Structure 1
Amino acid sequence: MLKYLLYPFVFMAFLSCSDSCEDKKIIPNESELQGGDIVFRRGKGIESKAVLYADGGLFSHVGIVVEYQGRKMIIHSVPWEQEHKDDEDKIKMDSIEGFFSRERAVVGAICRPIDSLVCKQSAKYAIELFHNGILFDHDYDSSDTSKLYCTELLTFIYKKCGRKLVESDGHDVNFPLIKHKVILPSDIYNSKQLKLIRKF
């Protein structure tokens, strides 16, 4: 009976790309990050296990580093992390410490665009989308860019840069209610447009 009660939470956790983790702190140094870097995180909770099961990769969430008001920040699209409970789920900007907090991450990675021009352009577009208040895409429809889920945000930014971040058009996942092909974190992590800086 318990497994059936837990299933809806596993399912919704997969959709969110959110992370739960044990008491371990991982925070990269700000000096090793630059605007345009793509960062990955993974927890060890049931949510992350659901994402890993569907993806077969190392990570369950992804964001992009920007320089904003003199600080390195991370822009990402995620539900259920609103500052106020009545806020809509939308693209948000977090500090490095917030994105990689022990409540959200135990494993992480930094990847950097091979093309330095893409670094600058992608960070610029990410800030624009953040200021536009783009909502989180709960339908996971990559063909509709009026709303964006976590990996969709990154592929959309690269499309605006004139680059194709991932080769795949998405994957069919074995979860109910998801009617569209989903871009997974491993699609981005394995992108030929990126080089790995560090895993931690």
Structure 2
Amino acid sequence: MAGEGKFRIDRVACQIVTEQRLTPEEIAELPPHVRNDPRYHHSIERTPAGSSNAITPLAVDFANEVLVDVLYAAEDLVGQTAHSAKLVISGTGWSEVSVPMSTLVGKVEGEGRRLGAVAANDSQWVQVHAASLVAATVLQRNLADQVRDIEAWAKQDIQILIPPDADVRQVRPNMQANGLSANLADRMDLPTNQRDGINALSRSSFTEQLE
């Protein structure tokens, strides 16, 4: 590696790259938005084939990948500094490859409220923070209680929509064809401003995809 002594090569590795086509079963498990895209119908595997300390030559076959680990030597920072180097990769039968490298090193000067409070010996901020944690805990518990209440209402609505002895395969096409009836909306005690949206959702094919 040419350049300043701040950079050094730690390791050079070679890995074999193989590409395999997915099976029909694996393609069927892909997310819907990529399932029909041939670009996603294969997998790439990388198998380590050898490594070197950058002094001992490393054998690399055609189409193999070469990985180079470059380390940067830290320093005691005084102001802002910049360093540069060039990584040169060469070998028998290879075209030489040069990779320029550079770093810009600086220090962010700043501190959080906690550090500021500690430096100022400000116990009031610590008390405020503790009170916020207590309030957050209470809020979480209240939300948990609300979720449990909503769960009970949701189960009740589901029972109204689909009785326990009903065949879901027959109920869904009926809802998609007829939408949300006024009678059913009344039984669910559904607010007026939500009925049009639930009716449109019932008639759509989106809910069918979710099932």
Question: TM (normalized to structure 1)?
Answer: 0.20
Q: Which has the higher helix share?
A: 2
Higher RCO (C-alpha 8 Å, min separation 6): 1
Question: TM (normalized to structure 2)?
Answer: 0.19
